[in-house]
Structure 1
């Protein structure tokens, strides 16, 4: 199980998330995007339809259709009604339920750095978890820092 911590400093979530979602779907995977914030889920729903002029990333909010059929599902918790093996946590609040996936992406900004550090330390006790920390360089590119 792999957990990737992404510290959002230069690139906003609105640019980073669609790239990961598109990559997962292009490789035949399913993705669960988790945020406890209703407004953020609605905003991400709009974003995933419009992030690029030529994009098409099929998705839905949990409970608004056939959840099981969705390659990308937006949800308030880490219960994968779409059978996803990949989970993205976008509200900065780590959930241990993410450990039930093959890979987790944990996005956080400076306001949530304390919580991210606690999650990082807490995952050190899980031998089956490979942790990676990604930060942005001066050019805005992601670099693995740990």
Structure 2
């Protein structure tokens, strides 16, 4: 079974939270895929990961660039696991058909957007029904993650 984590963004936007979570994954030696629902979002994330911190570097690429299998972090709109990721980040309501292919599946969602919450609730119910280890994380007033 997979660990399925739900990160409820409240006090910090995705652009601030995602790079930190990706850094933690790479520190553990985990390959990651970040799945969004539009190519525009992938392009924006690609630019973000090059510029989010002058003192840090997150090696990444998109599925439209050559050799996606070589990328430690792959940005994609595709459900395939083109880089052999063990951690799958799902943003903007992206979904995958087989959660069990990954050690961890991480849903990041904006808790202030009512349209973003309903698909995540459905994903929560599905993950629980499939027997995955499900946890919910919420940001405190300082943007730190608290397990609820």
TM normalised by structure 2 equals: 0.91
CA distance in 2: counterparts of 1:31 and 1:104, whole angstroms: 10
What's the RMSD between the two structures over aligned residues?
1.3
CA distance in 2: counterparts of 1:139 and 1:58, whole angstroms: 27
CA contact (8 A) 2:7 2:136 kept: yes
Q: Which residue of 2 aligns with 1:123?
A: 127
CA deviation after TM superposition for structure 1 residue 45, in Å: 0.2
CA deviation after TM superposition for structure 1 residue 81, in Å: 0.9
Aligned to 1:134, the other structure's residue is in SS state strand
Unaligned 5+ runs, structure 2: none
TM normalised by structure 1 equals: 0.92
CA contact (8 A) 2:9 2:108 kept: yes
- Runs of 4+, deviation exceeding 6 Å: none
Q: 1:139 to 1:57 in 2, by over 3 A?
A: closer
1:114 aligns with 2:118: yes
CA distance in 1: counterparts of 2:137 and 2:120, whole angstroms: 12
Number of aligned residue pairs: give it: 144
CA contact (8 A) 2:37 2:91 kept: no
Unaligned 5+ runs, structure 1: none
